[in-house]
Structure formats: C-alpha cells, structure tokens
Copies of this chain bind each other. A is one copy, B any other.
Amino acid sequence: MYIYPMYSSELIKGTLKTIVLNLLKENDRMYGYEITQKVKELTSNKIQITEGALYPTLHALEKHGDVITDKVYIGKRVRKYYILTDQGKKTVKERVNELADFMKTMRFLLDIDSSLSNV
C-alpha cells in the first residue's frame, strides 16, 4: 500500500487560513479537530494540519472577526465550534479569489499547463 507523501511545509504556508475559511463556508459549523480530519480525508493525507498551526490560526480568525465560537460539551469533553460571520464570508471570497489568481499566475510562470501530466 503506497503512502502518498505530504507536501513540503513551505507550500502549505500561507494557505492554511484560506483552507479553514473555505471549509467553514461549506460546512456552517466545525470544530478544530474536525477540521484537521476533514482536510486529511479530502486530500488523501497529503495535507495534514498540525494542531500547533491550527489553533493559533483559529484564534487569530476569531480575533479578526471572521468567525465566532460556540462552546459545547459532549459529555464532559469540550468542543469549540467555529462559525463564519458576515465579515468572514467576505474574507473567504477575497482569499479564495486571490489564491485562484495566484495559482493561475504560477501556472503561467512555471509553464505548467503545457505538460499535461499534472492536470
């Protein structure tokens, strides 16, 4: 059974906020651990968000007003749900558009589309 390699960490830098915001756009409410598992699953283990990266990011999004939280107890264990605000919905669009544009530029710059092996 072949294990897909993870991407080198430099690549993921700068896209984490966008990934998290976009997941929240599509799922209404998610908690931290759920986000790490969902990304892992959706990317066949190629992107694994570490907790040391995720939680500070979530806290920053909350501070910035892009998300609000809802603390829920499952038995005695705490869970913090994150929900997009209206402001956050705007931020998602901006971020995703910017990333899409950036990737377009990179494909051109690196002449990627012409070799069809990676489409």
Q: Are A112 and B96 in contact (CB under 8 A)?
A: yes
How many monomers of this chain does the complex have? 2
User: Secondary structure at chain A's binding surface: helix, strand, loop or mixed?
Assistant: helix
In chain A, residues 1-56, which have Cβ atoms closer than 8 Å to a Cβ of chain B?
Answer: 7-15, 17-19, 22, 26, 39, 42-43, 46-47
For residue A104, CB closer than 8 A to chain B, the reply is: yes
List of B residues within 8 angstroms of A14 by Cβ: 8-14
Q: Apart from A13-B14, A97-B118, what are 16 other A-B pairs with CB-CB below 8 Å? A: A7-B101, A9-B14, A10-B13, A10-B15, A10-B17, A11-B98, A11-B99, A11-B102, A22-B109, A22-B110, A42-B108, A43-B105, A43-B109, A99-B110, A100-B107, A100-B118
What residues make up the interface of A, taking CB atoms closer than 8 Å to B? 7-15, 17-19, 22, 26, 39, 42-43, 46-47, 96-112, 118-119
